[in-house]
Chain A
Amino acid sequence: MTTPVVQWGALAPDLILLGGAAVLLLVAVLFRDRTARDIAMLVGVGCFVGSAVAVTVIWDHGDGVRAVLDGQFVVDRFANAVRVIVAGSGLLTLMGAYGWARLREHGPEFVAFLLVAAAGMDLMAASNSFVSLFVSLETFSIALYALCAFDTKSSASLESGLKYLILGSIGSVVLVYGAAFLYGATGSFRFDEIAVGVAAEPESLLALAGLALVLGGLGFKIAVVPFHMWTPDVYEGAPTPVTAFMSAATKAAAFAVLVRVLVTAVPAMGDTWKPALAVAAIVTMLFANVVALRQTNVKRMLAYSSVGHAGYLLMALVSGQAGAKALLFYLAVYAATSVGAFTVVAIAERETGRAATIDSLRGWGFSRPVLGGALAIFLLSLAGFPPTAGFLAKLYLFAAAIDAGYTYLALVGVAATVISLGYYLRVGLALYDRRHESGSMLPSAPGTAWAGTCAALAAIVVLWLGIYPPDVLDWAGQAAASLIAAP
């Protein structure tokens, strides 16, 4: 027997995160309260930065594609791009969460869960077999279940965690079930080997049923209609920093692995899954955006908005290489926007002492000019206005869909975007409602300085990507090319 070969370099970005989590357990034991929290924050920030730096170092290794751990993972530029998005979301989340009172008691645990979840997401994005996919999926899911229930004194948080646990388990079960079917049909869990089997017999019912179940299981994670029902409840109940991280990073990782499954394992069944995804995209875009119109709780509204954005992103899955490039750019933009928006909502919650609703935000933009301005930028970006990055992200997504022959999807996307203005602008207008102008600038609530910095930083990123996109677009293009060959 030969010694297994471990590609340490390719795994370094994830090992850094996991190592940090292990260290944090010691921090939790050795230090207390605020000291523990501050050290944990430093470790967390260091790990995320280290992970991102490690990615830049290994970006060109093996010409951008390396099989890792006997082909269980493929670390290509696509996976690396997702790692950067996850690390960036994690960084922003940490900054945004700093002032959260709960962290004074359990700071190291929070950061540790976050790091483990991030590592799980990274690994899932690089998974090249259903075994590694499932293990990494459960790694981050379990961490997220715990994070959702992190505020153990709040029944909403506990409810959110429990719901996510139960429903998430069902999702995982369905996924594994599907993987078993695919194994039955092709004799392998590895995507490249499944592809061979499927290509030999693309009409195999067992494989088709397996793929349907896999799509259901992953559809749960990316929250597309009709697998989305957990999203509003869990997003609303979970502590807001957790919601921020979930919405940004989970989406990125789950979409990444979905793309990988579709283009590396079952491309031969494209004629079957492409129409299905197109229908799911249409239903999701329209349903989520219409339902969001009725929400008054901002977190719930953003949850439906997140479902709606999953609908737009489904478009990318049927649009080939250009679609994958648009997907990565969109995910990067969405991560900054979403974490920023939820962070501002978290500050508003802390200041007003109640859940953020459209009514509670009335006139708030006048008393908190920076935060209000940042939230306005995030809303405009979500709605797709220039010069925010949301505009370019949508534009590239729709252009990719049109080029791939899905003009009708792009049209539905535009229609859904128009509908979405209804609720994004409603919040924006409430923020600057003159009738509720308090006339004075409020001093910032204690402990929100870092959260405010996080929001400002995210807003700058959103504007920067909207005005100066070439670097990130180039990066997304390289990443997409490493996964999908040009047509």
Chain B
Amino acid sequence: MSIATAAWLAYAAPLAGCVLIALLGLGGERVPRRAAAWIACLAMLVAFVFAVVVTVQLEGLEETSRSVRSVAWTWLAAGDFHVDNSILVDQLSAVMLLVVTGVGFLIHVYSVGYMQGDREERRYFAYLNLFVFSMLILVLAANFVVLLVGWGMVGLCSYLLIGFWHQRPSAVAAAKKAFVMNAVGDIGMAIGIFMIFRQLGTVDYIEVFAGRAELGADTSTINWICGLLLIGGLAKSAQLPLHTWLPDAMEGPTPVSALIHAATMVTAGVYLIARMNPLYSYAPDIQHLIVVLGVVGLLMAGLIALTQTDIKRIIAFSTMSQIAYMFVGVGLGAYWTGIYHLTTHAFFKALLFMGAGVVIHALADQQDIRQMGGLHRWLPKTSLAMWIGTLALAGIFPLSGGLSKDSILAAGLEIGNGWGDLAFFGGVAGAVLTGLYASRLMFTVFRGPPSDYAAAHAPHHTEHGEGPRTMLYPVFILAALAVVAGIVQFPGLSHVFSSWLEPVVYGAVPMLEPSASNDWIATGVATAAGGIGVIVAAIVWGHGRSAPVSFPRPLAVLSERRFFWDELYHYAFYVPAAWTAVALRRFVERPVFLVVPDAIGAFALLAGRTLAPLQTGLVRAYALAFALGVGGLVLYFMVQAA
């Protein structure tokens, strides 16, 4: 089987699953309720197997020829311009393919247990498969139009799944918010693509990358293009300043949060910048902007996560913070570090979300950590797995998250020159925060005496174990991955990941790989920083949720109110827009649109007196119009000739 065939099959499997599940609806009540769930999982398994086949075969090729472009058909052709439905399989898309299908498969299996008994299970699994399909369109795209299609479709699926429980007004509102924010990004991206097309007359990746020097010749053009594409990336990846939708998106089912809002879709911005590295390396200004936004974002999200009380929102802010790390990595030009962190993050963050899902299940849909505490006695396995995820998140050596985060910091150290220093010190400070908020969550939930609510619900819901096997096994597998995944890139010992991705990076600057000594320094400092965070958290919250903690007042308010971003948008966009609308109604609509239609109406009445009989259903009038038309036509032809 050729690489292209395997990739197309991996691509088609989730689509087939989605269509099949939709067709099950024709069967009505005769179809078993669980059929949809198992079809969806099977589709994902098939996709994952083909993803592995693709990767293995790609590995068997010469290093320089590990880029396979396959055109299925030409969608649109006009002159020289053409848009194909094509895929590009190379080292980068293979990594993304593995992450999306692999983690996606585990989360599908988890969903089988999590969604059991939901009335609209079939719709859920159809959406979930459709999402994976859309995500594969996004990561396998070989041209910008297909990329935009995938980009839009994952946004649509995200919207559908956030609002999955459409009876809840808050879920519908959150879905709308996510959609609007993402639409802003989509528009930015579309304009960027138009600019590329105007400059080069093509939308094909390979042709665009070949023309990168031409684009890069004019600084302002390349800055605009990269900046506009970045807007798309910022919106999709929930980065400053387009991040406010992500915490609200936690209204969706927890596996959705794990798959879409942690492991795959929200990392699309990182993938985008890494994929566009030939362009970004010509736009250092934009790269610096990315680093600054990333550093500010990771610190801010870390601070916010410290005071939140909803278990899923804490993890959501943590996601935002970790993606900010990835942005820092790709912004520094060390593209592989961003992708590396993306991969390990997919493991430990999906693990944390799924663990949180087990907790929420055990407490009858309670998400407030103040209502938890002491859950270790009922959920020992979950607690252990989540501790692994937490330590990986906190960046403790040698867990995978530690190694990948350290690679980003090491890249900063390697570059130095202000921007690199900013990345390094900002990242270390962020690591302390990460250790703090992540451990706070764990201590509050699992340690100390249980709250009244937990004591009332937990024993009842866990008498048959911590949850169905379909939920627990994926958690354990991810926990194992979170521990060992770092082996592919170990400071001074192995550099499988960076050398695998090296050929993908071709721009104005070469691939950046930190020296072993910088690597070890970064590892040591970051582990120490994360460890300090964990230890401080243990001292403060070690006795469980009862521990009262007071931050300095202004910081606490900033954190609790999430740095007032929602209020800022309210006053910066909504209020002016509402005022404009009111003003338009008063000063434009009433005078113009109420008067003008009257005028038009008066004119129509006037015209009506002469024309009205024509469309009243009288055949003779129609015949007259016809005759007049023919007469006019004949007259015109005669005049033309004369």
Contacts and interface: CB of A to CB of B under 8 A. Distances in A.
A464 B623 CA distance: 41
Contacts of B551: none
A214 to B, nearest CB: 10
Interface stretch (B73-81, B185-193, B283-291, B335-343): B73-81
Contact of A208 (B75, B85, B637): B637
A230 interface: yes
B73 A468 contact: yes
A403 B80 CA distance: 13
A226 B629 contact: yes
Given A276-B636, A392-B76, A216 B629 contact: yes
Contact of B636 (A212, A226, A230, A395): A212
B11 to A, nearest CB: 14
A215 interface: yes
Interface in A384-401: 387, 392, 395-396, 399
A291 B137 CA distance: 41
A233 interface: yes
A121 interface: no
Interface size class on chain A is: 35 or more
Contacts of A53: none
B199 interface: no
Contacts of B627: 170
B509 interface: no
B622 A167 contact: yes
A205 B623 contact: no
Contact of B637 (A229, A272, A470): A272
A272 B626 contact: no
B73 A470 contact: yes
A433 B183 CA distance: 23
Contacts of A232: 615
A334 B315 CA distance: 50
Contact of B633 (A215, A399, A467, A468): A215
Interface string B52-88: 0000000000000000000001111011000001000
B638 interface: yes
Contacts of B629: 216, 219, 226-227
Given A205-B641, A470-B73, A212 B619 contact: no
A209 interface: yes
Contacts of B568: none
A226 B637 contact: no
Contact of A212 (B79, B615, B630): B630
Interface string A219-230: 110000011011
Main SS of the interface on chain B? helix
A212 B78 contact: no
B630 A470 contact: no
Interface string A69-84: 0000000000000000
B626 A220 contact: yes
Interface in B587-627: 614-615, 617, 619, 621-623, 625-627
A210 to B, nearest CB: 9
Contacts of B633: 212-213, 215-216, 219, 276
Interface in B115-168: 149
Contacts of B642: 205
Contacts of A470: 73-75
B629 to A, nearest CB: 4
Contacts of A387: 149
A205 B638 contact: yes
Contacts of A162: 619
A465 B120 CA distance: 31
A212 B634 contact: yes
Given A212-B630, A216-B633, A272 B622 contact: no
B628 interface: yes
Contact of B626 (A229, A392, A395, A399): A229
B625 A229 contact: yes
A126 B633 CA distance: 26
Contacts of B641: 203, 205, 208, 272
B640 interface: yes
B10 to A, nearest CB: 19
Interface in A245-279: 271-273, 275-276
A419 B623 CA distance: 28
A171 interface: yes
Contacts of A216: 626, 629-630, 633-634
User: Most chain-A CB neighbours within 10 Å: which of B614, B630, B632, B641?
Assistant: B630
Interface in A20-35: none
Nearest to B153: A387
Contacts of A213: 630, 633-634
A233 B623 CA distance: 13
B626 A167 contact: yes
Contacts of A209: 634, 637-638
Interface string B345-359: 000000000000000
A447 interface: no
Interface string A192-221: 000000000001010011011101100110
User: Most chain-A CB neighbours within 10 Å: which of B614, B617, B621, B632?
Assistant: B617
A469 interface: yes
A387 B137 CA distance: 15
A163 B619 contact: yes
Interface of B: 73-76, 78-79, 85, 149, 614-615, 617, 619, 621-623, 625-630, 632-634, 636-638, 640-642
23 contacts: A166-B619, A167-B623, A170-B626, A171-B626, A174-B626, A203-B641, A208-B638, A209-B637, A212-B636, A212-B638, A213-B630, A213-B633, A213-B634, A216-B633, A226-B629, A229-B614, A271-B640, A272-B640, A272-B641, A276-B636, A403-B79, A469-B75, A469-B76
Interface pairs A-B: 7 shortest CB-CB: A226-B629, A216-B630, A212-B637, A212-B634, A229-B622, A208-B637, A212-B633
Interface of A: 159, 162-163, 166-167, 170-171, 174, 203, 205, 208-209, 211-213, 215-216, 219-220, 226-227, 229-230, 232-233, 271-273, 275-276, 387, 392, 395-396, 399, 403, 467-470
Given A174-B630, A219-B633, 4 more contacts: A163-B622, A226-B625, A272-B641, A395-B78
